[in-house]
A and B are shown apart, each in its own frame.
Chain A
């Protein structure tokens, strides 16, 4: 007879080791663009991402990087927006564009069998995009309405206030759209930004998926040729002097709402600084996963909120950590008290070895998601590069995380996360 199963005893756990980063290729196209490539996957699809150093940091006026990216596929000298969209659909491909604090990117994904056709279209757009006025007006009209809606919600108002205070009101990273800033966007400004920054000299390419034979040849034949304006000298961005951070307290009234949106932020070192990993682990412990201190206290024990998180906002030249939560007006005061009580407790009492080990295991296990399949791996590589890091950072991640001690985290709490350093925004009071 077999033994009865003892369900109170957990199955043995295997010690998690850092995985190697998947093999990837690095090539230079004829025009000097570095190409990083991970082949693989069961489905016959690919993703190709072009990254340009052309984010909000580089823009001459607020929202220029965003609208350049947004309007990129709105028309070329040969095709209308609808024709471009049809041409892409015809080859089962899609282009998504994005502009962040430091970068603009174009992601082309599609069916591998039409890889050459899809990149040909991309090359055409990169060479001939012409930002039609009519399409721009459609976007601006839509976005003005969206802005009006957002300005009635606590989470948008609170986030916007926090972002502008943490970085400085006039900081390019922080610029939020306003009715006035949107009215200043003109096709010529977008075209000029595009001409200057969307060039081979300012570009990196990331490619992943199941690729047909000859793909590199095709890629080099097409994207290895010049596109955009040739050898424009990149201007140095004019970044205003960033005011020294001092914490502040903001209350934004929103009478109709039943909840208050809480956003509490504190500055932290940049991602490439030595203390960053400790901050990263601290953030996870505080509010970075489901079992985190804040979630346990405010959701599981008190029922004050549907969710509470802390996260780190990282840019090349700035970083801050912030806590976000929507909670009922009736319990908002109690929620604020509990949040700071948990933060303070982390500097007062060392975390137990068990809890810290759990956070480490969770984080190390989580790194496997970053390298799950060619698409995730490629995005991971891209993100590392964005912060001037390489795969060694990934390979050493587990080992470095494992070295962090309870005392380290207590010191991190005391150094960076004391209550008086936090900027507090409450929207919906």
Chain B
């Protein structure tokens, strides 16, 4: 099982870099959708004894992260009629390099931290931190509102990976609550994006700078 788990985590890390390397927002959304499905599979692979609640939580995660949220984002994208992230704060290639550096940093960082001696893959904690950092890179270096929301989603995905270690601490009801919050949060963001587009005819967040001292 650990081999499959490691393989999944490596694919997730590669998808992270792919989101940094493309400017077509639709492709970023598709990549995140695939990542979401893989994330949903993670808990199923990670635990030997599968309980019904765990399977249910996985299914809900797959449906929300792999289908509902990406479809919602695609709709928002269609409404605003913008296809590409033009002129990000740092270019696509430097972003990939930065993302790769973040991944290396995460691996080094976790090798310094004492890890719990359980049988699970040692890759989980570094993958989680690397994914969180990539989410941050997208959030801070892209200017289109929708790309920032995707960055937030990737950040949450990273936290979700960490949560795989802690299934017993998070009962299903609460896990569902977390997923529901994420779903509603992105739903509200998509509505705000369409409002921004109606009022400002753009979804470039640089336009949102009237409020200051």
Question: Are A and B co-members of a single complex?
Answer: no
A residues near B (Cβ < 8 Å) are: none
Please report B residues at the A interface, Cβ cutoff 8 Å.
none
